[in-house]
């Protein structure tokens, strides 16, 4: 069975315990942080395990790449701590169960992963996806499973993820372009942390787009826009992709507005938190985040994660700002139209 690879030595040598002192929710001084974190490591009870909002951020705060968040999740499960109500967890466990209802396109060795997110059916078209448009996988069978980190279910990840990886391998996919940030995080951070082998080469879609845009250089018209960026939780696991995003924005002439809640200080979309901790905290976070977006007067609010889109896009629009997905922003730059729009609620009357 897979076990978390975690170097307690690093923690022992760690002076400032940034994983815990920087946490936006559990505000600890260094001494208490050291003490409580030690309890976590020793498998003892610590209020950290209850208070954690599962925002993933401590993973980014650890300067030693030690994955403290995975440690928290591991301990939560072992202690039977439920970060969200049990029925919510059950719903997640059930709705993503692989039951053979997946979609596989005309696959090549290089393929797109839509994860289990229908948004990409809309987004992944046009010039930027010309060669790969139909080379895509979608459905529970290809679902990265990282979401269970929010629900103290590493056991489920350990059970399902190897199968998912095998499903992808079986399709003959050598290079997997992950359209969902979280998939990339799964294959490059989560899987290795548990010693799960990944027999294909994961590519973050930022890097894919950078290459594409370079190739389509003459067609790219710099947009000259200023945007507020909604940085999502899974980027905490793969903070290096932030650099790619900067490069991407650069290529299409977009300025990433300097705002309080971006980069390491980003705020999560808060819908998982709403279900886990209640509406007050979630509303407060969303208000702070939206206020901050608004303060930089962005031309667009840019989303990376479809789940953030579902949580925040409507609220962004209600405040008179325009939500857009990174892919769509790039599509604008090559003269195409925004494809993922807010669903009008009049589908059924």
Partner 1 sequence: MIDIYNELTSIVDKDFVSNKPEELYIYGRDPGLMPAHEPEYVVMPSTVEEVQAIVRLANREKIAIVPKGGGLSLTGLVIPQKGGILLDMKKMDRIIEINEKGSYALIEGGTTHGALKSHLLKNYPHLRHSIPDSPPIATVVANAVIHGQGRLTQQRGFNSDMVCGLEVVLPTGEVCKIGTSAVSDYWFSKGAPLPDLSSLFFGWCGTTGIITKMAVKLYPCKKLRDVMLFLTDRAELVPDIMLKLGRTEMIEDLVVTAQPIPLRYAGNYYILFYITGDSEEELEYKRKYCWHTLWEYFEKRDGGFVSLVPEMKAPLLSMPSKDTTRFADVSKGGGFEYSGPIAPIEKYAVYVKKLEELAVKYNLYYSSAARMIDGGHSMMFSFSYTFNRADAQTMKRAKQALDEAAEYALDNGGVMWKPNLDEQKITIRKMDPNTLELMTRIKKLLDPNGIMNPGNWEVL
Q: Where do contacts with partner 1 occur on this chain (CB under 8 A)?
A: 82, 84-88, 90-91, 94-95, 97, 99, 271, 274-275, 278-279, 310-311, 314, 342-343, 345-349
Q: Which does 191 bind (CB under 5 to 8 A by kind): ligand SF4, partner 1, none?
A: none
How far is CA 279 from each of CA 10, 159, 211, 261, 272, rounded to the nearest angstrom?
A: 37, 32, 41, 20, 10
What is the CB-side half-sphere exposure of residue 274 using CA atoms within 13 A?
A: 13
Site string for ligand SF4, 53-82 (x = CB under 6 A): xxxxxx---x-x-x-xx--x----------
Span of 21-29, 99-107, 251-259, 285-293 interacting with ligand SF4 by CB under 6 A: 21-29
End-to-end CA distance of the chain: give it in Å, rounded: 50
Stretch that binds ligand SF4, among 49-57, 111-119, 219-227, 251-259 (CB under 6 A): 49-57
Strand order in the sheet with 300-303: 254-256, 225-230, 300-303, 323-325
Among 10, 39, 125, 315, the residue binding ligand SF4 under the rule CB under 6 A is 10
CB of 20 to ligand SF4, least distance (A): 6
Question: How would you class 175 by CB atoms within 10 Å of its CB: exposed for 0-12, middle for 13-18, buried for 19 or more?
Answer: middle
C-alpha separations of 124 from 26, 142, 331 in Å:
39, 17, 10
216 φ, ψ (degrees, to nearest 5)? -95, 25
Q: What is the number of other CB atoms lying within 10 angstroms of the CB of residue 134? A: 14
19, interface contact from ligand SF4, partner 1, none, CB < 5-8 Å by kind: ligand SF4
- When CB distances are held under 5 to 8 angstroms depending on the partner's kind, the choice from ligand SF4, partner 1, none that residue 94 binds is partner 1
Q: Which is nearer to partner 1, 195 or 279 (CB)?
A: 279
Min. distance of Cβ 12 from ligand SF4 in angstroms? 8
Q: Does position 11 bind ligand SF4 by CB under 6 A? A: yes
103 in helix, strand or coil?
strand
Tokens matching residue 66: 């030690």
185 contacts ligand SF4 (rule: CB under 6 A): no
**Contacting residues toward ligand SF4, per CB under 6 A:** 10-11, 14, 17-19, 23, 25-26, 37, 52-58, 62, 64, 66, 68-69, 72
């Amino acid at each position: 069975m897979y076990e978390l690879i975690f170097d307690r030595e690093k923690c022992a040598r760690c002076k400032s315990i940034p994983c815990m002192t920087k946490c936006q929710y559990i505000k600890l001084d260094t001494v208490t942080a050291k003490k409580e974190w030690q309890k976590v490591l020793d498998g003892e009870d610590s209020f950290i395990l209850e208070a954690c909002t599962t925002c993933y951020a401590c993973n980014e705060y650890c300067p030693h790449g030690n994955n403290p968040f995975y440690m928290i999740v591991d301990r939560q499960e072992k202690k039977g701590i439920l970060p969200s109500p049990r029925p919510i967890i059950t719903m997640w466990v059930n709705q993503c169960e692989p039951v053979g209802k997946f979609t596989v396109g005309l696959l090549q060795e290089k393929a797109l992963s839509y994860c289990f997110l229908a948004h990409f059916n809309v987004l992944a078209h046009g010039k930027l996806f010309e060669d790969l448009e139909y080379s895509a996988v979608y459905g529970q069978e290809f679902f990265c499973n990282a979401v269970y980190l929010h629900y103290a279910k590493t056991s489920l990840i350990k059970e399902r993820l190897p199968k998912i990886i095998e499903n992808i391998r079986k399709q003959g996919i050598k290079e997997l372009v992950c359209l969902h940030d979280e998939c990339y995080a799964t294959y490059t951070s989560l899987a290795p942390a548990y010693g799960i082998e990944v027999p294909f080469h994961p590519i973050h879609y930022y890097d894919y787009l950078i290459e594409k845009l370079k190739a389509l250089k003459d067609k790219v018209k710099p947009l000259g826009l200023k945007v507020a960026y909604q940085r999502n939780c899974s980027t905490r696991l793969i903070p290096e992709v932030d650099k790619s995003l900067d490069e991407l924005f650069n290529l299409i002439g977009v300025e990433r507005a300097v705002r309080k809640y971006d980069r390491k200080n980003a705020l999560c979309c808060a819908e998982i938190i709403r279900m886990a901790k209640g509406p007050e905290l979630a509303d407060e976070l969303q208000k702070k985040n939206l206020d901050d977006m608004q303060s930089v007067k962005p031309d667009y609010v840019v989303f990376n994660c479809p789940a953030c889109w579902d949580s925040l896009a409507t609220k962004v629009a209600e405040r008179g700002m325009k939500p857009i997905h990174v892919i769509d922003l790039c599509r604008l730059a090559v003269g195409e139209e925004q494809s993922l729009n807010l669903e009008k609620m009049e589908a059924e009357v």
